[in-house]
Amino acid sequence: MHVPLGGALLMPLVAAILLATPREDRRTWAAACLLQGAILLGGLIAAAAGEDDGLAIQFLVDAEVIAAHETAAHWFLAAAAATLVAFGVGFAGREMVRRRRAAAAALLLGLLTAGLGARAGHLGGQLVFEHGAVEAHQQGSPPPGG
């Protein structure tokens, strides 16, 4: 999940640049859409991998701790999708006013996404470093329930 989080921290800067220096060039907007799409795709892949990890750690870590991380990750994905929509509106927009509004929305949503990603990452770190989730992947550890 590190790559989607790192990208999410970068995207508000991309949106701020698009807002400060309006671009009529659709390639710039397309690049922003592709980057945000990669963040969303990476988050979805990480969420799928997290489902598998959740099964491996369910006997080691309190269910509430796992659920908090999952919920934070789902909020991150929702915000990342909304940010992609905002960049998509800018890409599809023909008028500069619409593109500026899309850039402003992408900036705000990007900041929200970055914050939610930081929260999900923090909770994931707690799972590993404070609650012992790493033990499920260490060699020689007993199988879950055993």
pLDDT in tens, 39-98: 999 999 988 887 766 666 776 778 888 889 899 999 999 999 999 999 999 999 889 999
Q: Provide the domain count of the chain.
A: 1
| CA–CA gap between residue 121 and residue 96 (Å, rounded) | 36
Label residue 23 by pLDDT band (50, 70, 90): low
- The arithmetic mean of pLDDT across residues 3-24, rounded, is 87
Burial label for 62, CB within 10 Å (0-12, 13-18, 19+), is: exposed
Pick from 28-32, 66-70, 88-92, 102-106: least confident: 66-70
- The arithmetic mean of pLDDT across residues 96-114, rounded, is 95
Please report, as a single letter, which amino acid is at residue 19.
Answer: L
Domain assignment present for residue 80? The answer is yes
Query: CATH code at 113?
Result: 1.20.120
Token readout for 18 is 């698009």
Would you say residue 146 has pLDDT above 50? no
Domain assignment present for residue 90? The answer is yes
Q: What is the mean pLDDT of the chain?
A: 85
Domain assignment present for residue 111? The answer is yes
Domain assignment present for residue 143? The answer is no
Would you say residue 133 has pLDDT above 80? no
Domain assignment present for residue 40? The answer is yes
Domain assignment present for residue 41? The answer is yes
- Decide which of 61 and 38 is more confident: 38
| CA–CA gap between residue 49 and residue 54 (Å, rounded) | 9
Q: How many helices (H) and strands (E) does the chain have?
A: 4, 0
Would you say residue 118 has pLDDT above 50? yes
Q: Are 5 and 43 in contact (CB under 8 A)?
A: no
- Domain of 125? 2-137
Label residue 31 by pLDDT band (50, 70, 90): very high
- Decide which of 29 and 132 is more confident: 29
Site of tokens 């033990």? 135
Domain assignment present for residue 142? The answer is no
Q: How many CB atoms lie under 10 A from the CB of residue 136?
A: 20
Domain assignment present for residue 146? The answer is no
Angle 31-34-38 from CA coordinates, rounded to 5°: 140
